[in-house]
Structure 1
Amino acid sequence: MNRRNFIRISSLGTLITGSGIAASCVNKNADSEGEDYADIVVVGGTPAGIMAAIAAARMGSKVILTEYHSHLGGMTTSGLGKSDIENKEAIAGLFKEFTEKVLQYYTEKYGDNSKEVLLCKEGYYYEPSVAELVFNQMIAEEKNIKVLFNYQIEEAELEAGKISKLRFKDRSSGADKSLKAEVFVDATYEGDVFALAGAAFRLGREGKEEFDEAHAGQIFFDFNEKAFLEGGSGKGDDRLPAYTYRLCMTDDPENSYVLSEPPHGYDRNNYLEYFNDLKDGRLSAPKVFKEGHGYYSDHFDTMVRVFSFTEIPNRKYDVNINPRPLGFPFVGENYSYPESDWAARERIFQKHRELTLGLIYFVQNDPEIPEAHRNLAMKYHLPKDEFTDNEHFPWQLYIREARRLKGMYTLTENDVTLREDAQRTTVFEDTIITGEFPIDSFPVSKVPSKDNKVLEGYIGMYEISPYQIPYRILVPEKVLGLIVPVAASTTHVAYSTVRMEPLWMGIGQVAGIAAHLSREMQVEIKDVPVLQLQNILIENRQILTYFKDLDRADKAFDAVQFWGTKGFFDSYSARPQEDLSTEDYKLWLSIFKELTDTTGIISETNLKTTGHTVKITAINEIIQTLNMADEAGLKPDSWLYEKRDTNSFVLRGEASMALYQLYRKAKLNVNQNA
């Protein structure tokens, strides 16, 4: 088991003034003096920010949620019409609630057996407007949340190292507004709050030697063969994966907004390299076809393949810009973005918008493109009924990576991949959620590999096993009163798997609960009792530990995923219905005793076993011993799948339940920072 304890940090008193950074709706709630207060302030109406606000509000905290734009939902409501998740059993919680509400919307509007319900894939695929509707409904149901749109963060004020106030500019009125709170949540894609507060952060790529990561630094990677190519130095730099806009398009002529003339800033020279991609086969079919990855055979070997299409309801498509061709024009346009002021960021937004609209126009109209390709491209247009206040174009730039916090732990590639002979990824005692998406970084440089297969820095869908994420990556090293669910503490490589909206929704839920516990218990974010946090997360359907053989309906589900964070299981097989071996029983009991400080109460005489297996009587003796010590009152047989003779062998799931119930109900002297 990988056992890591929290690090204690000292306070730092300072006042941090920012250079200004970017927002959109009218704040009708701030008082006349331009200052407002909440228990918790969440900055960033991203999916993570929304879930943080909801989680905290449901626990009773008064929450203010601020957003730079005039819409909530970040990428999920701005063109990213499918949930980037490979294993639906790995992420649940509030994200699952979101998908259930999406499914409910399509079912109620179109009927159980409708094409729209089929295309929404159980709520995991959706139109941007539907995602926004669902988010708005979820927020509206919470009386403890107030939303402030068009709020542009400008400054953070600290007292004794703890954030006490944030200053914003109301972009609608131009007025300065200040927000005070006991706890702040930085749910921005950019990490703006922690940067303004003076927290340490990373920007760019680590070198391969810094954390001994195989895919770190400058790299050429064959996305088809999943193999390294010649030329990668492994050196770190300050470059970032390319940003793009994620598009929603339609093939419905009645709902099509057609680009009838070149968009502002159009320059066909930006796209001429695509002709070489077409000629050299880089717009051909992928080696492996996977549903939902934007593959349509009609598009292969045509200029339309510069995009990747995935069908969503109502004759619409989630459209990504294919990062595999060498002509991909977006690389480098974002390098200065994270540290730019708001005016410069707006110029970067505009440049990416122009490049994106220009690419659509080029593929549909350029006379050098074969007519058949142009005719195919002319089937798809921006929908008239999406983004109606922004000329049918998404309002949120796809910021795949910006600043990354330097937290109390740094998650690396080695934590999210299987190492050597290990049968599961790193086990963290302070795990708060499971991640599962492949490592997936967009190109970082316009330099092609020597064989012209790929642009430098692109690591396309490198599959990994489900992994645990520790609470510590959300906690700044020194700045107090702040938790960071989005721009969390990871390396560049690890961030390229963490950076998915379903996972961020789950981490946002963690942030909201932790923020509430921090203020309710009057402890710092770093001192929130993780064991209590984990129990609340389990009660709220969060997945802490993924097992391939554990059914949600299993009575031991909660207990097994909890103990999965403590080292009970060394693989992805929990085997809850199998007999517990003597070897595992001794391991589990030693972990339990350490966690609950019962070493002096539970002795070796309690380890009564028969050969290689354990009988129910052995567990009963532990229960009786601890009941005498603490009067826990564990109900007889409540931890068994079914009542039977006490000389029967105990099953792994049953032992997990018994120890979990003892841990929870005995209320022993638990080391809350384990």
Structure 2
Amino acid sequence: MNIAQLKIKVLLLISIAFCTVVKAQSDLVTKKYDLVIVGGTPAGIMAAISSARLGKTSLILERTSHVGGLPANGLGATDIATRGATTGLFTEFVTRVKKYYTDKYGALSEQVKACSDGYHFEPSVAEVIFGQMLAEHVDKITVLKMCQFDAEPQNIQISNGRISRISILNRDTRKIESYEGRVFIDATYEGDLGAAANIPFRVGREGKSEFNEPGAGRVYKYWGGEEGNGSTYQADNAVQSYNYRICLTNDPSNSVPIEKPLKYNRDEYVSMIEDVWTGNNTGVQMQQVTTAMMKENRKNLANGGTTKIPGDRWGIGKITNMVALPNHKTDGNNQHMSFISTDLPEENWPWPTSDWAWRDAFAQRLKEYTLGLIYFAQNEKELPESFRKATKEWGLAKDEYNDNEHFPRQVYIREGRRFEAMYFFTARDAMPVSPGKRPPAHPSSVTASHYALDSHAVRKREPGKIHLDGFISYPTAVYTVPLGVMVPKQVDNLILPVPVSGSHIGFSTIRMEPCWMALGQAAGVAASLAIDGHTRIRDVKNEQLQNLLIDQKATLMYYKDIDSSNPDFKMVQFMGLKGYLPDWEAHLDAVVDRQQLAVWNKLSGLKMKFKAGSTTRREVLRDIYRSINKQMK
């Protein structure tokens, strides 16, 4: 073979290799899915599952090496005020949790008792359950881990109001990969995909003057008390604090001692010393505590006793609020009764709009702060010996997060970007219209939900203040969430089930994982309908969406006397959202009175003839329901 022939052969081989690479890249780029979901959070997982059950394919792009979001990272004590308010795939999840513990330990075991009907679970168990649910749809759902989406315009391709392609960084290979879809879902806690799509968003707190919401703007209040001095109610750019939901245990056989972190700063924690000795705390009970009581508490602790101050917590409970989980573990959240705990206010403010380099640096800072806080409480010699001893009973659970030094892998992002979508959710949507009544019922509801208006602090301790700025909670009632909170106006095939549309206070109740799971489920169904109907998400018909959600056992309007196992569940949901059943109970077996019959006849326009006082409400509603459905067809 002469030199010329050799050159030709080499060029040919290079050409073949180049074409192979191009083909591989082309195959990757043109790989299409019905749904492309950014974020392997519970909402993202439920969106994939609900759409898979309707025959659609999904791709979940998860930045870390684990799916499951916060429930798989320490949030094992489910935040829901009324069980049964949110159902559907969320109920499937908790049912599977209970079954897991029952199958493994026995129906009468301590583990089953501690799991509280599946609402309390270990982080590793949450990840197992999510994995099982995804595995059942392996032919429809693809999960790719270590895939990072950055909120940059070059990572998203939009034309004619529709996203066609997004690009991610493969954190293992350090290469850019692109994926195409028919509908895109932002299931991130931060709202990165929506930001890249240029959807308007808010970060920070609205002032009270904008929506007249309780707790809006700068507010100081004792925990459980009234708003106090220093409250200005003014808007600002403050973001409620983040922390880690740490999984602790007092089981010596499964406990890893807390060691001093490399970047330990004792000065950050010294204010705790006086709080422990005096029993000073942020609870409303402090209004009854006198200087003499604090002095007596100091003497008691010096003699080896424990705190006697009302509202004060002892030992590890002074710095973390713990809820028991199975196998002697706890979900360790921030302690709302203390001035210093596992939250790290102020420093997290840039998180929602920062890049991942900044976020990763803060995550490490927060990890070192948290470990340093516990180490301080367990070892600081200026603290009472009895306090240190009680705190030292606890350590990290050895059998959790084995690839991350037994520490949670994700920060608890309570609030990121909040987008401005078709509907803007405020406190009014979660509060009763009058005492004992419901909040406003949304005809386009895709889930019911219930939690307090609840925000953690936005600022660190300030001299003379009764609590940390913005650490608030106000009661609500079971409410409905309209589809519009996750449907942007600007992009036709984007859904935002996690970074939903709302004020800081409105978002503070929606932001619980059960509600996010339900919104994810609704997003998957809405996406499927939009694909089938070749329409925009916002043009999906309410009744069609709601019927499919109810078929998947979702509760759209909560009733105390009707659940998803009732044969009339679907009828009650439909009629409730149409305004026929505005009260908390349906009372289907009660006889209908003349006044109620007149109201229903007027609502339906059917003028159906029933005998008041002898016909049950069930019979009347069934007939109206059948007639309405017949007209709709």
Please give the TM-score of this superposition, normalised by the length of structure 1.
Answer: 0.82
Do residues 480 (structure 1) and 492 (structure 2) align? yes
Which AA in structure 2 matches 1:176?
A: I
Pairwise CA distance, 1:661: 3.0
Q: Aligned partners of 1:267, 1:216: CA distance in 2, in Å?
A: 33
Match 1:453 to one of 454, 460, 466: 466
Which AA in structure 1 matches 2:319?
A: V
Residues 278 and 303, structure 1, Cα contact 8 Å, conserved in 2: no
State the match for 1:115 in structure 2. 110
Quickly say closer, same or farther: Cα 1:339–1:587, change in 2 above 3 A: same
Quickly say closer, same or farther: Cα 1:421–1:115, change in 2 above 3 A: closer
Residues 324 and 455, structure 1, Cα contact 8 Å, conserved in 2: no
Match 2:60 to one of 60, 65, 88: 65
Within 5 Å, which residues of 2 pair with 1:133-148? 133-142=128-137, 143-148=139-144
SS of 2:262 mapped into structure 1 = coil
Do residues 150 (structure 1) and 135 (structure 2) align? no
Residues 219 and 457, structure 1, Cα contact 8 Å, conserved in 2: yes
Where does the alignment leave 5 or more consecutive residues of structure 1 unmatched? Answer: 1-29, 289-296, 594-601, 615-648, 670-674
Residues 282 and 324, structure 1, Cα contact 8 Å, conserved in 2: no
Residues 303 and 369, structure 1, Cα contact 8 Å, conserved in 2: no
SS of 1:278 mapped into structure 2 = helix
Match 1:471 to one of 474, 483, 508: 483
Match 2:392 to one of 378, 386, 392: 378
Which AA in structure 1 matches 2:273?
A: F
Residues 399 and 406, structure 2, Cα contact 8 Å, conserved in 1: yes
Q: Aligned partners of 2:283, 2:235: CA distance in 1, in Å?
A: 32
Residues 64 and 145, structure 2, Cα contact 8 Å, conserved in 1: yes
Within 5 Å, which residues of 2 pair with 1:630-645? none
Which AA in structure 1 matches 2:102?
A: T
SS of 1:332 mapped into structure 2 = coil
Q: Aligned partners of 2:529, 2:149: CA distance in 1, in Å?
A: 25
Pairwise CA distance, 1:448: 4.4
Residues 415 and 425, structure 1, Cα contact 8 Å, conserved in 2: yes
Residues 283 and 303, structure 1, Cα contact 8 Å, conserved in 2: no
State the match for 1:275 in structure 2. 273
Where does the alignment leave 5 or more consecutive residues of structure 2 unmatched? Answer: 1-22, 287-309
Residues 431 and 477, structure 2, Cα contact 8 Å, conserved in 1: yes
SS of 1:509 mapped into structure 2 = helix
Q: Aligned partners of 1:449, 1:497: CA distance in 2, in Å?
A: 29
Residues 444 and 457, structure 1, Cα contact 8 Å, conserved in 2: yes
State the match for 1:106 in structure 2. 101
Quickly say closer, same or farther: Cα 1:447–1:377, change in 2 above 3 A: closer
The worse-fitting range, judged by mean Cα deviation, of 430-439 and 652-661 is 652-661
Once the two structures are superposed, residues 255-296 of structure 1 have per-residue CA deviations (whole angstroms, 9 ceiling, x without a partner) of: 122134x112111111112223324434598869xxxxxxxx
Q: Aligned partners of 1:233, 1:585: CA distance in 2, in Å?
A: 50
Q: Aligned partners of 1:280, 1:491: CA distance in 2, in Å?
A: 38
Do residues 542 (structure 1) and 554 (structure 2) align? yes
State the match for 1:633 in structure 2. none
Q: Aligned partners of 2:410, 2:317: CA distance in 1, in Å?
A: 23
Q: Aligned partners of 1:553, 1:93: CA distance in 2, in Å?
A: 11
Q: Aligned partners of 1:217, 1:581: CA distance in 2, in Å?
A: 47
Residues 582 and 609, structure 1, Cα contact 8 Å, conserved in 2: no
Pairwise CA distance, 1:110: 0.6
Do residues 668 (structure 1) and 632 (structure 2) align? yes
CA RMSD of aligned residues (A): 2.2
Once the two structures are superposed, residues 171-196 of structure 1 have per-residue CA deviations (whole angstroms, 9 ceiling, x without a partner) of: 01101011110001111001111100
State the match for 2:622 in structure 1. 657
SS of 1:248 mapped into structure 2 = strand
Q: Aligned partners of 1:657, 1:607: CA distance in 2, in Å?
A: 12
Once the two structures are superposed, residues 98-138 of structure 1 have per-residue CA deviations (whole angstroms, 9 ceiling, x without a partner) of: 11111111111111111111111111111100110110111
Which AA in structure 2 matches 1:206?
A: E
Do residues 184 (structure 1) and 184 (structure 2) align? yes
SS of 1:163 mapped into structure 2 = strand
The worse-fitting range, judged by mean Cα deviation, of 113-122 and 564-573 is 564-573
Quickly say closer, same or farther: Cα 1:286–1:49, change in 2 above 3 A: farther
State the match for 1:632 in structure 2. none
Q: Aligned partners of 2:463, 2:490: CA distance in 1, in Å?
A: 41
When the two structures are aligned, how many residues end up with a matched partner? 580
Residues 283 and 306, structure 1, Cα contact 8 Å, conserved in 2: no
Pairwise CA distance, 1:342: 1.4
Match 1:356 to one of 370, 381, 401: 370
Within 5 Å, which residues of 2 pair with 1:297-312? 300-302=313-315, 304-312=317-325
Pairwise CA distance, 1:443: 0.6
State the match for 2:305 in structure 1. none
Pairwise CA distance, 1:361: 1.0
Q: Aligned partners of 1:433, 1:109: CA distance in 2, in Å?
A: 32
Once the two structures are superposed, residues 556-599 of structure 1 have per-residue CA deviations (whole angstroms, 9 ceiling, x without a partner) of: 33211222112113321322222223333343344445xxxxxx
Q: Aligned partners of 1:57, 1:449: CA distance in 2, in Å?
A: 54
State the match for 2:297 in structure 1. none
State the match for 1:220 in structure 2. 220
Residues 215 and 470, structure 2, Cα contact 8 Å, conserved in 1: no
Do residues 346 (structure 1) and 360 (structure 2) align? yes
Do residues 431 (structure 1) and 445 (structure 2) align? yes
Q: Aligned partners of 2:337, 2:435: CA distance in 1, in Å?
A: 33
SS of 1:469 mapped into structure 2 = strand
State the match for 2:418 in structure 1. 404
SS of 2:156 mapped into structure 1 = strand
Quickly say closer, same or farther: Cα 1:654–1:244, change in 2 above 3 A: same
State the match for 1:258 in structure 2. 257
State the match for 1:321 in structure 2. 334
Pairwise CA distance, 1:439: 1.3
Pairwise CA distance, 1:400: 0.2
Quickly say closer, same or farther: Cα 1:270–1:485, change in 2 above 3 A: same
Quickly say closer, same or farther: Cα 1:263–1:131, change in 2 above 3 A: same
Which AA in structure 2 matches 1:457?
A: G
Pairwise CA distance, 1:446: 2.5
Residues 229 and 449, structure 1, Cα contact 8 Å, conserved in 2: no
State the match for 1:625 in structure 2. none
Structure with greater helix share of residues: 2
Q: Aligned partners of 1:491, 1:131: CA distance in 2, in Å?
A: 30
State the match for 2:9 in structure 1. none
Residues 326 and 448, structure 1, Cα contact 8 Å, conserved in 2: no
Quickly say closer, same or farther: Cα 1:249–1:489, change in 2 above 3 A: same
Which AA in structure 1 matches 2:632?
A: L
Within 5 Å, which residues of 2 pair with 1:7-86? 32-33=25-26, 34-35=28-29, 36-86=31-81
Q: Aligned partners of 2:262, 2:202: CA distance in 1, in Å?
A: 35
Which AA in structure 1 matches 2:372?
A: G
Q: Aligned partners of 1:175, 1:153: CA distance in 2, in Å?
A: 12
Which AA in structure 2 matches 1:380?
A: W
State the match for 1:577 in structure 2. 589
Q: Aligned partners of 1:447, 1:267: CA distance in 2, in Å?
A: 17
SS of 1:222 mapped into structure 2 = coil
State the match for 1:24 in structure 2. none
State the match for 1:90 in structure 2. 85
Q: Aligned partners of 1:207, 1:300: CA distance in 2, in Å?
A: 33
Quickly say closer, same or farther: Cα 1:551–1:470, change in 2 above 3 A: closer
Which AA in structure 1 matches 2:264?
A: Y
The worse-fitting range, judged by mean Cα deviation, of 147-156 and 413-422 is 413-422
Which AA in structure 2 matches 1:78?
A: N
Pairwise CA distance, 1:430: 0.3
Quickly say closer, same or farther: Cα 1:284–1:482, change in 2 above 3 A: closer
SS of 2:368 mapped into structure 1 = helix
Residues 186 and 483, structure 1, Cα contact 8 Å, conserved in 2: yes
Pairwise CA distance, 1:303: 5.9
SS of 2:179 mapped into structure 1 = strand
Pairwise CA distance, 1:552: 4.9
Residues 168 and 178, structure 2, Cα contact 8 Å, conserved in 1: yes
Residues 185 and 496, structure 2, Cα contact 8 Å, conserved in 1: yes
Residues 38 and 63, structure 1, Cα contact 8 Å, conserved in 2: yes
Residues 220 and 449, structure 1, Cα contact 8 Å, conserved in 2: no
Which AA in structure 2 matches 1:274?
A: M
